[in-house]
Structure 1
Amino acid sequence: MNYGKYIISGVILVLVIVLFIFSSTKVESGHRGVLLQLGAVKPTILTEGFHFKIPFIQNVEQIEVRVQKEESSQSAASKDLQMVTTKVAVNYSVDPGAVNKLFQEIGLDYRTRIVEPAIAESLKAITAQYTAEELISKRPEVSAKVKEMLDKKLTKYYMLLEDINIKEFAFSEEFNKAIELKQTAEQNALKAQRDLDRIKIEAEQQVTQAQAEAESLKLKKEEVTPELIQLKQIEVQEKALEKWDGRLPSVTGGATPFIDLSGVK
Structure 2
Amino acid sequence: MSMRYPDNDAPNPFTHFAPRLAGGIILVVVLLVALSSSTHIVPPGTRGVMVTLGQTSPQFKPEGILIKIPFIQQVVNVSVRQVTQQGRAPSFTSDLQNVDVQYDVLYRLPENKVVELYQNYSGSVYDSLLLPRIQEAIKQVSAQYVAEDLVKNRERIKIQVIESLRRAMDGLVIINDLTITNIDLTDELEKAIEQKTIAQQQSLKKNFELEIAAKDAEIKRVTAKGEADAIRLQGEALRAAPDVVQLEIIRKWDGKAPQSVVTDKGGANIILPSAR
TM range (shorter): 0.7 to 0.9
1:82 equivalenced with 2:97 (yes/no): yes
Distance 1:55 1:234 in 2: 131
SS of 2:274's partner is: helix
Distance 1:11 1:174 in 2: 75
Map of 2:142 onto structure 1: 127
Map of 2:181 onto structure 1: 167
Matches within 5 A, 1:23-38: 23-38=38-53
Distance 1:215 1:56 in 2: 109
TM-score (norm 2): 0.76
Q: Is residue 79–residue 131 contact of structure 1 (8 Å, CA) maintained in 2?
A: yes
Instruction: Provide Cα deviations, 1:133-187, integer angstroms capped at 9, x if missing partner.
Output: 222333222111111121233336x322121111111212122112111111111
Map of 1:101 onto structure 2: 116
Distance 1:232 1:104 in 2: 111
Q: Is residue 72–residue 119 contact of structure 1 (8 Å, CA) maintained in 2?
A: no
Pick closer, same or farther for the CA change 1:47–1:108 going to 2, 3 Å: farther
TM-score (norm 1): 0.79
How far off is 1:51 after superposition? 0.6
How far off is 1:223 after superposition? 2.9
Kindly provide the amino acid, as one letter, of the partner of residue 212 in structure 1. G
Map of 2:262 onto structure 1: none
Deviates more, 1:25-34 or 1:106-115: 106-115
Distance 1:18 1:223 in 2: 122
Instruction: Provide Cα deviations, 1:90-121, integer angstroms capped at 9, x if missing partner.
Output: 11112212212111111233222112211111
Structure 2 unaligned segments of length 5 or more: list them. Answer: 1-16, 254-258, 260-270
SS of 2:176's partner is: strand
Map of 1:207 onto structure 2: 221
SS of 1:164's partner is: strand
Deviates more, 1:14-23 or 1:45-54: 14-23
Q: Is residue 86–residue 103 contact of structure 2 (8 Å, CA) maintained in 1?
A: yes
Aligned equivalent of 1:185, options 199, 211, 224: 199
How far off is 1:35 after superposition? 0.6
Distance 2:101 2:149 in 1: 14
Distance 1:63 1:115 in 2: 16
Q: Is residue 50–residue 73 contact of structure 2 (8 Å, CA) maintained in 1?
A: yes
Structure 1 unaligned segments of length 5 or more: list them. Answer: 244-265
Q: Percent identity?
A: 30
Map of 2:34 onto structure 1: 19
Deviates more, 1:170-179 or 1:133-142: 133-142
Pick closer, same or farther for the CA change 1:66–1:232 going to 2, 3 Å: closer
SS of 1:46's partner is: coil
Distance 2:169 2:51 in 1: 24
Q: How many residues were matched structurally?
A: 237
Distance 1:143 1:179 in 2: 21
Map of 1:142 onto structure 2: 157
